[in-house]
Each structure stands twice: as C-alpha cells, then as structure tokens.
Amino acid sequence: MRALPDGAQKAAETKSMIDRLRTFIGYREHPKFVMICRYFHYKRAMLAEADRLVEAGVLRDREDIFYLRFDELPQGRAHR
C-alpha cells in the first residue's frame, strides 16, 4: 500500500481504521452477554422458588417450574 501514490497517508488511515475496529469489535457481543447473564439470574430465581414450592408440596420436581406460565404460579406468600 505504501508503494501507491499517497501510500504513506493511505497506510496511516488504514491503520487508524483497523485500530478503531479492534477497539469497538467487542461491543457487538456485549448486549448478547448481558441478555444471557440476565436469563441466568432469572433461571436461578425460578429454581429457588421451585425449591420452595417442592418443599410446600405444590410441585413434585423443581424442574416442573419450567412448564408453568407466570399466571399459573401461586401468588403471594401463602405457599411459603
């Protein structure tokens, strides 16, 4: 690239663009990472609630909570 007319300037611009790309390339993955982390916290909270429901005799197995809709879960603290 340096052998072309204005090659030194073009090489400097290209290096600058590559550096900028390398700086921001991870930001594309960040929203996905945040979403997966949030789902992990949701799953952990659901399993904790499932453990309480199993102890109360509402569910037979803690994994059964994944087959319920939100409106099917017991409301309030009566089951605790």
Q: Name which residue leads in pLDDT, 9 or 78.
A: 9
The pTM score is: 0.58
Identify whether 35 is part of a domain.
Answer: yes
Identify whether 2 is part of a domain.
Answer: no
Rounded to whole angstroms, how far apart are CA atoms 13 and 17? Answer: 6
Q: Which of 3-7, 45-49, 55-59, 75-79 has the lowest mean pLDDT?
A: 75-79
| Residues contacting residue 49 through CB under 8 Å, at least 6 positions apart | 65, 73
Confidence at residue 70, expressed as pLDDT on a 0 to 100 scale: 84
Longest CA–CA span in the chain (Å) reads: 80
Total number of domains constituting the chain: 1
| Structural domain containing residue 66 | 7-72
Identify whether 1 is part of a domain.
Answer: no
Residue 11 near residue 1, CB atoms below 8 Å: yes
Q: For tokens 């390339």, what's the residue?
A: 25
Q: What would the two tokens of residue 60 be? A: 């037979």
Identify whether 77 is part of a domain.
Answer: no
pLDDT digits (tens, 9 = 90+) for 24-71: 887 778 888 899 999 999 999 999 999 999 999 999 999 999 998 888
Confidence at residue 76, expressed as pLDDT on a 0 to 100 scale: 59
